[in-house]
Structure 1
Amino acid sequence: MSGLIGKNIGMTSMFLKNGENVPCTIVQVGPCYIVQIKTIKNDGYSSVQLGIDDKKIKKTNKSLLNHFKKAGLSPKKKLLEFRMNQKIHSNFTMGNLISINFFKEGELVDIKGISKGKGFQGVIKRHNFSGVGEKTHGQHNRLRAPGSIGAGSDPSRVFKGKKMAGKMGKKSVTIKNLEILKIDFDYNIMFLKGSVPGNKNSYLMIQKKEWN
């Protein structure tokens, strides 16, 4: 299995052994439960589906309730799949608990999450445009405008993918090669060097580097 599910708690800073103060993110990892084991024979690929955080039964539909009942588990809020080698398939059992002991201090991990939503933004914030120009020659209201978009009699349309104003953020983002500075096994907390995508209490996919 390649990783576990975590939750973004917030940011702080930490002093390294050389005296350097670095920013780090506090991530609560697990406890995760094995909800489903997929095999090449039945599903066409090999993976483990993990669940985290209990969910109220009245807020879970019947199909999902039966899905969790097969593993002998209560409903979970978040489900994610992690690829797994077929050779170590027999080491996992549905319903088993996987804790933060899966990781070690000093390891490099890749963090995948949903970035913060910024709403509808203009081209300067969204694409780092510089605007039309300064307040000269009567351009008092054109500082943050996108300017010409290049359409004319030929091609008489705007090409797909043109950088324009629109909704920004709330996309799947992966931050690679983040170092695990410290692990608190008593509280299932991991300190990662740097920042991770998403708001506080958002779920993260934490994957070991050697699997990617």
Structure 2
Amino acid sequence: MPPRQATTRLFALPPRFLCPSLPVTQTRTIRSILKPIPKPSRFNASQSLPVLGSSHTAAFERKEHVMPLRTGALAIKKGMTAIFDPETAKRTPCTVLQLDRCQVVSHKRRDVHGYWAVQVGAGAKEARNVTRPERGHFAAQGVPLSRELAEFRVKNEAGLPPIGSKITADLFIPGQFIDARANRRGMGFEGGMKRHNFSGQPASHGNSLAHRLMGSSGGGQGSGSRVLPGKKMPGRMGGEQMTVANLKVMQVDKENGIVVVAGAVPGPKNCVVKLQDAIKKPWPDATWPPAIETVTEPLREATEKAPAAA
């Protein structure tokens, strides 16, 4: 904390030992008349000083170099297959993902919302199954109704494609790496061995009907006779969001909207997966935007009339 500024005023109150007969009410009156001394700011948030490391601006600058340069896409997990390479005689397990009417719905801007992002919609939905605020949001942007919505952070304004543009499968090129994010399969209530990979208890030496139990959950008097917070115990497993990084794109089919990536993707079949350029790998050498098809004027007029009629 910076030191207090030394200020001298002409009508400052003298110490109490110099005027012991001064009543308390008069002291309060003098203090109310005098202007309070301005305290120095605890935060050096001025134009001439450097940005604090704990501010929102500094946090945004620290994350700016890892923000993707372009938007991502919403895909549906269709299942797993394998690709055989006859040259290397190697079989690579892959996941098949399909893009379903993926489009840009709206933007999130730094001056308005505090960050740069692209809101992407996928699929279709009937107007009777969409709430009135959602219909107003789609109608204001002039785009058709979407079943799924997601946001993809971008680095700056250059990564914001026009609203209403279509995102096709050739947004990703074969050989690049992407990050896949989806909700894991729900396992229900599971024990410690399956949920946290516990080794279990011995098979013999006095063990009876407790081979898969977790054992002690805490000490006695030394640890307070309680279970410490964060202790790994049996409970519900799965169902939370998970990200698998650095998945290699093997094949791309623009006509059918198919993207084949190497390895496993979290989530069950027919789940929604968010795909975006991997932040731990170099950015792909692709022209921007190669796979963003700008919506035509007749299509935009039709989309503007559809929400109004709904």
Which residue of 2 is the match for residue 85 of structure 1? 155
The answer (yes or no) to whether the contact 1:4–1:30 under 8 Å persists in 2 is: no
Counterpart among 220, 225, 234 of residue 152 in structure 1: 220
**One-letter code aligned to 2:103:** Y
Distance 1:92 1:2 in 2: 8
Which residue of 1 is the match for residue 197 of structure 2? 128
Inter-CA distance 204–116: structure 2 relative to 1 (3 Å threshold):
same
Distance 2:71 2:143 in 1: 22
Instruction: Give the CA RMSD over aligned residues.
Output: 1.7
Q: TM-score, normalised by structure 2?
A: 0.64
> Which aligned pairs between 1:157-172 and structure 2 lie closer than 5 A?
157-172=226-241
The answer (yes or no) to whether the contact 1:38–1:45 under 8 Å persists in 2 is: yes
Distance 1:36 1:2 in 2: 12
Distance 2:170 2:218 in 1: 56
Distance 1:95 1:87 in 2: 17
- Residue 187 of structure 1 and its aligned partner are, at CA, apart by 0.4
Counterpart among 174, 188, 197 of residue 119 in structure 1: 188
**One-letter code aligned to 1:48:** V
Aligned residues: 210
Which residue of 1 is the match for residue 166 of structure 2? 97
- Residue 92 of structure 1 and its aligned partner are, at CA, apart by 2.1
Counterpart among 176, 184, 196 of residue 253 in structure 2: 184
3-state SS of the aligned residue for 1:67?
A: helix
Which consecutive residues of structure 1, in runs of 5 or more, have no partner in the other structure?
A: none
Counterpart among 29, 32, 44 of residue 114 in structure 2: 44
The answer (yes or no) to whether the contact 2:125–2:145 under 8 Å persists in 1 is: yes
The structure carrying a bigger helix percent of its residues is 2
- Residue 211 of structure 1 and its aligned partner are, at CA, apart by 8.0
Matching of residue 22 in structure 1 with residue 92 in structure 2: yes
- Residue 74 of structure 1 and its aligned partner are, at CA, apart by 2.6
- Residue 192 of structure 1 and its aligned partner are, at CA, apart by 0.6
Matching of residue 9 in structure 1 with residue 78 in structure 2: yes
Distance 2:264 2:245 in 1: 11
Distance 2:161 2:201 in 1: 59
Distance 2:124 2:100 in 1: 12
**One-letter code aligned to 2:231:** K
- Residue 157 of structure 1 and its aligned partner are, at CA, apart by 1.3
The answer (yes or no) to whether the contact 2:74–2:272 under 8 Å persists in 1 is: yes
- Residue 132 of structure 1 and its aligned partner are, at CA, apart by 2.1
Counterpart among 161, 176, 191 of residue 107 in structure 1: 176
Matching of residue 73 in structure 1 with residue 143 in structure 2: yes
Structure 1 runs of 4+ off > 6 angstroms?
A: none
The structure carrying a bigger strand percent of its residues is 1
Which consecutive residues of structure 2, in runs of 5 or more, have no partner in the other structure?
A: 1-69, 282-310
- RCO (CA 8 Å, sep 6+): is it higher in 1 or 2? 1
The answer (yes or no) to whether the contact 1:6–1:205 under 8 Å persists in 2 is: yes
